[in-house]
Each structure stands twice: as structure tokens, then as C-alpha cells.
Chain A
């Protein structure tokens, strides 16, 4: 394909999912230094939010804020200055389900908070309020291709605007009856802080191009199940390359027939 690759330096990484409590633990699993142990995702309290809102924060908001914070902390970056890209295959599944249930009942007077939390960009809004960031914030969805769509958007911003961009890819589950139609098993996601220049904390330089090569499965069957069940974790092969710290090429599932090829050059 003729397009030039999109490049950036990875300054910070975050990961959170079932049995993957943070990036250091995920890194150890991806390096096969620790065995993967399945357990439900533990979402940290959103330290960024005021006390009252902390209790009310939904699972997607906790997830997205935790991922953003971990990626920034690893890079020593100040969240208030960062442009953001939030990529998710769905919004807040529990909130959506509750709204649809009530709108199908005789009492349609839904709660205003439920309504404003129903927008796809609710976590992006809470992030900007919590970090006081007035920087541009993008919110994308491409169903199962959402990780790749978010990565492409973030890399284009890095390349064109010449600014660091925080990518937060996340997904959360629907309750029944929607779960049967969209069976995402748990909340999980990946955060990447991407920059046009290498900083002191840079882990690697990546160059991403469109290709037709499908992503091979991950060797560990448990990790492969997560990769294929949760769209935001389609980025796990890239995290594995970062964890191993060796130069190489990984393939990420994107939008058939298009896939992404990522050249990884560790620092």
C-alpha cells in the first residue's frame, strides 16, 4: 500500500483488564515472567474526581481515567496539557441498558444524569473536567476496530499538530439482555502516550502502516481470549513487543480487509 507510515514515540503505557491490574503486572505476564491468573477486572477509585463524584463514577469512567493517569504517570507528563483520543466500541453499557429499560416502561421520565452520562464521550468529558484540560479531545468508535481507529487518529494528530497525544482505548460490558447481543466479558483497556519527539521516558518508536496481514493469535491462550473478546485489547501484541523490548514487527487487527502493521524500535 502506498501510504507513508505514521510514526510516534511511546512515552507512557497503561493496561488494565481481567487479571491485568496495571502495566507493570501486564508487562511481567507478557514477558512470561509471571503466569496469567484470570480474575475480574479491579477498577481503582478515580482519584482525579472530587469525593462526591468518585462514588458515583461508573465503570467506564473509572476505567478510562485510570488508563489515562497510568500512561501519564509513566511518562511524567502533565495531563492538563495533553490532547486526547478516547476509543471505545461502546459507551456505558449499564447506563444504556437502564435507559432502554426505562424508556420501554410506562415511566419514561429518565434521570438527567443518566442522560448526560449516555453520550459516547462521557469519559472524555470527565477526564477533561478532572484534569482541567482544555486541549482537543477526540472520541472514536469503529466497533471491533476501535483500537486501530483510535491509534490512527492519535498518530495523525501527533504527525500533523506536532503535539503529544494521549490515546485511551477502553471497553466495558453490557448487562443482560444486551450482553447476549454484545458479549464483552469485562472492563479492559490500553493507554498510550504518543509524542512527536523522544522524551527521557521514551520506550520505543513505532511506525504504523495499513496492510492486509491479519494479526496472528497471541501464544498464550488466555491472553488470546482477552485479545479477541475485548476490542480495546486488540492492541495487546503491541504491548507485548514493548514488554519484550526487542525491535520487531507486530500486526494488529483493524478493519477487514485492512489491518495494521507496527514496526517497533525500542529506545
Chain B
């Protein structure tokens, strides 16, 4: 693919709001996970909750979009002055020439879960103040963001579970290549809800302690929430030093099982190979891998196998989910931003909570952060339904 510039980016997770808080936690090896105290959920697990989401009301003009997911989206947009940068881009390109591509798995479904507690005792009807389109529907967050910026261009939500907001980079890159749009606002927003907390628990995939990706003793995920965004536009001939570029994308399907990865990591391998091909790079040119690394037995074993086959022990790798938790549909974008920080600020993140990397997985797994100047990095995101996406990013200068 023709490289695209990430002209602005930001991430908000349980590590904090924006790049400063995120980088400080990655540099110091901190984690934002805490015992689950969300809403009325009573589960023996740890979660990654963003502080102050309920206090972040949307401006009155956007009140019909009020729900946890869109409040989190707004917090994410306003971090690091990202919204201002987006307005500048829209000013330059025009309101019809900037597309919106956002990933989410559950959107504002919490609003529906809560509305079901307030059904009319006689008729069973949901309350009048419940608005399905602007909250629960998967498109709600993209419509909110499109409306928030007064955009008139194409907009879409991609919802492929935990690969959603990695795939937005590929979808936006193709529309830019076709000339449908000049630039794109991409990202992912997923927020805590009962469906995912009780759902992952029902699959016995939640850990009773902070998740430990790639640990020999790993026993599940820590469900989390997050909002991460980037502006994608054609790269100038000579991008400024430190500019982060999208160099390649690769997508695949496992064709194996709805909620378990292919045991040999076949789909993961196909996605990574496609991303390297799209970037025109050999595996040895990659300096760091941000793994999907959820902390489940099966994900890390399958992904680790695919990484070992393709990269051997030659490339430092880590999952940052011990720091952020698994932000599900936002994970692809959150980890794209973490890759951008690694490239622009010179740091390979470690893996907080992981004590001993699984010796059965033959990769160079980083437990602690390492100062380093990577030039090209690859990020993996895999989801239920066997949906895989790998992205390659590079730094200019």
C-alpha cells in the first residue's frame, strides 16, 4: 500500500486520558487494572475502567447520543487536543471529504441493558427516553462522531469483535486509495457493559486476578474499555522526523470456531504475512510486535505459535493488555496508538503482571519496558468469529 500519515492520534484507557498518561504508564510498567466494581456487576475478576465516564455529559446539542460509549468517545476525542486537529483536517479537506471509520463490539448496549430494568410493568414496553438508534446500535458511535464534527462524508462502524478497530485502518486506507475521500478519522470505542462482563465470564475466559498475557500461569482476560483515534491522510513526500506512518495491513479469517482461535494460529499467520506483504517488508525488518495477547490459554498459545514460526526469537514482542486490559472493539486502535508512541518516543512496552513468560512459546517476550528506537512495528488484533487483522506502522526520519 501507499503509506499514510497518522497526522494526529490519541488514546484513553484505564491508564488515563491521552498520550501523556498512557506513555508514562508504559514507561514505568504501570497497570490500570482494578477489582471489578462496575455498576451492579458481581464477578470475581479485574477490569480496566476509565475514570469519570459517567461525569462526562455530552454537550446539550448532542444529548440524544447520551450513553456510556459515546461519553467515552467524547473523552477520547477531547484528549490531546485531538478534536481540534480533526477540525483542522476537516477545514483543509472539506466536510464531505473526510470519512469516519470506527470499531466497536458492543457500542451503547449498556443503555439497553439498563432500559430492560425499567420496562413498563403492564405492557412490557421499554421507557420512552430509550433511543435505540443513537445509543445501542453499532453505528451510534460513528454517527455521533460524524455529527459532532459536522461531517457530511461517508461513515461506517466496523464490528468484527476484538479486531474491529484494527480493520478500520484497512477500510479507510482503501477508500483513500480509491479517492472516495481525502482523509479519515479512524478509531475504536468500546465501553464496559453487562453483556461482555457476564459473557466472557460464561465462557470462563475472565481471570480472577489482573490478566497476565503470555505468562506460563495465565488464566484469562481482564475486560476493559477504551477510546482511541487517529487521523489518516496521504503522507507528504518528506514527512517530518518522528511522524508515524501506516505502512501495511493484512486481514484473514480463521474458519475454525466462533470463540476459540485456530490452535495452530493459522489465521493469525495469514494476517501477519498479508500485512508484511502489504508493507513490502520481510519479517526481519520488524523491530517490535504488539501482540493481541489477551491472556487466555488458547489465544496466547495460538498467536505465539504463529509469531514463532514467522519471526522466531528475533523480534521483541509484548502484549500491553496487562496494562490496559482487553478493550475489545477498541483494542486495535488503542494498540495502534501504543505502537505510534513506541515509534515516536522510543520505547518498547513491557507486560505488567506477567511474571514468567511461557517457556513453551518460542518468542522474545518482553516483561519490562525497554528504551529502544524501533523503526517498524507490527500490531495484531484477533476477534471472535475468527476475524484477524495485523497492521504495520513505521516512523519517518
A residues adjacent to B (C-beta < 8 A): 1-4, 6, 89-91, 96, 99-101, 103-104, 108-112, 114-122, 124-126, 128-129, 131-143, 145-146, 149, 152-153, 155-157, 159-161, 176-178, 180-182, 210, 255, 257-258
Contacts and interface: CB of A to CB of B under 8 A. Distances in A.
A119 B384 contact: yes
B199 A142 contact: no
B46 interface: no
Given A128-B386, A133-B253, A258-B154, 5 more contacts: A3-B178, A99-B195, A141-B156, A142-B157, A210-B180
A121 B387 contact: yes
Contacts of A101: 116
Contacts of B383: 119, 121
Nearest to A108: B198
Given A119-B385, A129-B258, A160-B174, A138 B160 contact: yes
Contacts of B386: 125, 128-129
B251 A136 contact: yes
A37 to B, nearest CB: 31
A174 to B, nearest CB: 9
Given A1-B96, A108-B198, A153-B156, A133 B167 contact: no
Interface residues of B, number: 66
B116 A104 contact: yes
Contacts of A141: 137-139, 156-159
A181 B158 contact: no
B333 interface: no
Residue among B125, B158, B180, B252 with the highest chain A CB neighbour number at 10 A:
B180
B384 A258 contact: no
A149 B101 CA distance: 11
28 contacts: A90-B137, A91-B159, A100-B113, A100-B116, A110-B195, A114-B199, A115-B195, A115-B198, A115-B200, A115-B202, A116-B259, A116-B385, A117-B258, A120-B138, A125-B387, A128-B255, A128-B385, A133-B255, A134-B255, A134-B266, A136-B252, A138-B167, A141-B137, A141-B139, A156-B171, A177-B125, A180-B126, A181-B131
